[in-house]
Structure 1
């Protein structure tokens, strides 16, 4: 499949030469010197019969919904078939995933992302909204960030209208919304959180109670020790990291661009984000980006923000996406039984501005799911 909707930049001085590949990313994305982009379509889950439900005792229904007609963008909505655990209670809304893929590949319909969202919806339980966004180089950053604004605006409209999607009307508690993502999707979630915290991305009458960032994909020109020490056989290598930023950022931009480096020159910083939602950040201690992620968390703490870092020993970047589920996963999730109920009771008991702290219990359970998925078989 090829695309020429938004041509990537060509190589200066090569206009007279026949088109040739100037970027080959993971064998699934090729950028040509004349701006043509060719993509290898990934395997997709497109129908209910394409993927098994997580468990017969906790089935999940799902459907695709258009949230941006102009850009032809959709999200996949997952909801427990029994609603609020069969008790008629409203469930948290997890705007998760903004999927990973370095801003250049990926879709919510890929089996790994689809399977994780099925489990999250069934076992948290929660309503999960997994949103696609425009990819580079056809649509370079900040296009993906702008699409996150569109998702949250769509959710705000759903919370405010009498014609709310029936699944959301039946099941979703719009006052308990989490914004989340993995890798590039966690980068998107960060930028959305900063806009929400600064007040220039209104979501009322919905309310964002917290954010969960899984191995956030940030950049910078200066190498960190963990980046410099990245083994050549890692999934996310230094060469791939550099390449994906080169493809994703505006033409000619360096990795200290605000879209990549939240603390680089020209970045917005945190001064205006006085109401930044509570954050839980998770990564593996073998993630090439672990030093950058630790610095991110340290800076948030220094600015007085509510943030917690959870590291997984021996795990690398995107470990929960690429490693299969184990039989231990169900046991570990079961050991967290009641945590969602406790979070809900805490949020109802607290003043609105403090309820996000209690809802970090729910975020912890999301990370527990990730940990369970990645136990060695």
Structure 2
């Protein structure tokens, strides 16, 4: 019996010793946004949220039949994307499909186009809506502060447009992409990117004369120094959207009134020049943090004098990006149908 206890104790000591060698030395935290990300004073970054990597399925996803593959858009800076092609039959093999350039959410600092949650979402979306999608992998803060994500997203959009010339020989886009029906879409921070890409496309021409037909923004991230709606006027500068933006873009002129975040802020370009014909803005009733900002964006676009069409779609009983976390819910399915009707209008 004594030997057994001694044996157990030595084993226990072994595991305690091993754990001690595996446990990192306590480091001093420089900045954190809980429960998402923590930055240490030695420069290391710990992402507390985010889905694991999911490999592409070039031979078709078993659940949806969608094929996917990863491509490199730029080596320096590093910009890549995952392409999605719906299952095609002999009759639709050469069918031209609308092209959707998608920008994932995650507050510009977490998540990935290659993460399992977005891979599952895009597989489902592409199979249901029957579009050819390009999900963009842009650089994240704080390793790459804004405007890096905007520059990467613009590079990806330019790359997609350049494929219309057939020079880069990306067969899925050349054989099945309809460059007269290009849409851009995204959720949360990705929806903010959508707005800024559409604004830039209204000023700078995309390659080969390609135009953006439509843009959809799901639960978009916008803010301003002036409180809006139910936002508290006291401590407004300490609210999460404000703190996050200052962390993401420390060099931004005007802080949260920078036009990238506040489309009607001081010095912001006219919204009448936004480079697309149609827009769909989606909000969730229980998205307490930014739901009202989505409605605010819809209203300022509607009143801007822009000649395009804009629509607002609200799901009252849901929270932020519910449609990505729970793609099987009835409300998520309703959103997919709403998007399909927007694209095939």
TM-score, normalised with respect to structure 1: 0.73
Structure 1 segment 207-246 matched on structure 2, within 5 A: 207-228=211-232, 240-246=240-246
Q: Which residue of 1 aligns with 2:133?
A: 128
1:128 partner SS: strand
Query: What is the distance in 2 between the residues matched to 1:289 and 1:132?
Result: 24
**Structure 1 residues 363 and 240, CA, compared in 2 at 3 Å: closer, same or farther?**
farther
- The answer to whether the 8 Å contact 2:83/2:132 transfers is yes
2:319 partner SS: coil
Answer yes or no: is 1:160 the counterpart of 2:168: no
Deviation string, structure 1 residues 317-360 (Cα, Å, up to 9, x no partner): 21212235147877x69988xx96xxxxxxxxxxxxxxxxxxx6
Q: Which residue of 1 aligns with 2:72?
A: 66
Which of 44, 47, 52 pairs up with 2:53? 44
1:225 partner SS: coil
Answer yes or no: is 1:32 the counterpart of 2:40: yes
- The answer to whether the 8 Å contact 2:61/2:67 transfers is no
Deviation string, structure 1 residues 97-126 (Cα, Å, up to 9, x no partner): x00011111101112211111012111100
Query: What is the distance in 1 between the residues matched to 2:259 and 2:230?
Result: 21
**Structure 1 residues 274 and 150, CA, compared in 2 at 3 Å: closer, same or farther?**
closer
Q: Which residue of 2 aligns with 1:316?
A: 319
Query: What is the distance in 2 between the residues matched to 1:36 and 1:329?
Result: 37
Q: Does 170-179 or 200-209 show the bigger shift?
A: 200-209
- The answer to whether the 8 Å contact 2:221/2:293 transfers is no
Q: CA deviation at 1:243?
A: 3.7
Structure 1 segment 227-376 matched on structure 2, within 5 A: 227-228=231-232, 240-251=240-251, 254-271=255-272, 273=273, 275-287=275-287, 288-305=289-306, 306-326=309-329, 361-362=342-343
Query: What is the distance in 1 between the residues matched to 2:55 and 2:226?
Result: 41
Query: What is the distance in 2 between the residues matched to 1:334 and 1:248?
Result: 30
Superposition CA RMSD, Å? 3.1
Deviation string, structure 1 residues 233-275 (Cα, Å, up to 9, x no partner): xxxxx8543442232112476221222211112322324x165
**Structure 1 residues 85 and 317, CA, compared in 2 at 3 Å: closer, same or farther?**
farther
Q: CA deviation at 1:52?
A: 5.2
- The answer to whether the 8 Å contact 1:174/1:205 transfers is no
- The answer to whether the 8 Å contact 1:85/1:125 transfers is no
- The answer to whether the 8 Å contact 1:137/1:248 transfers is yes
Q: Which residue of 2 aligns with 1:354?
A: none
Query: What is the distance in 2 between the residues matched to 1:110 and 1:301?
Result: 35
Q: Does 298-307 or 30-39 show the bigger shift?
A: 30-39
Q: Which residue of 1 aligns with 2:18?
A: none
Q: Structure 1: which 5+ residue stretches go unaligned? A: 1-17, 230-237, 341-359, 365-377
**Structure 1 residues 363 and 224, CA, compared in 2 at 3 Å: closer, same or farther?**
farther
**Structure 1 residues 175 and 27, CA, compared in 2 at 3 Å: closer, same or farther?**
same
**Structure 1 residues 322 and 275, CA, compared in 2 at 3 Å: closer, same or farther?**
closer
Q: Structure 2: which 5+ residue stretches go unaligned? A: 1-25
**Structure 1 residues 328 and 268, CA, compared in 2 at 3 Å: closer, same or farther?**
closer
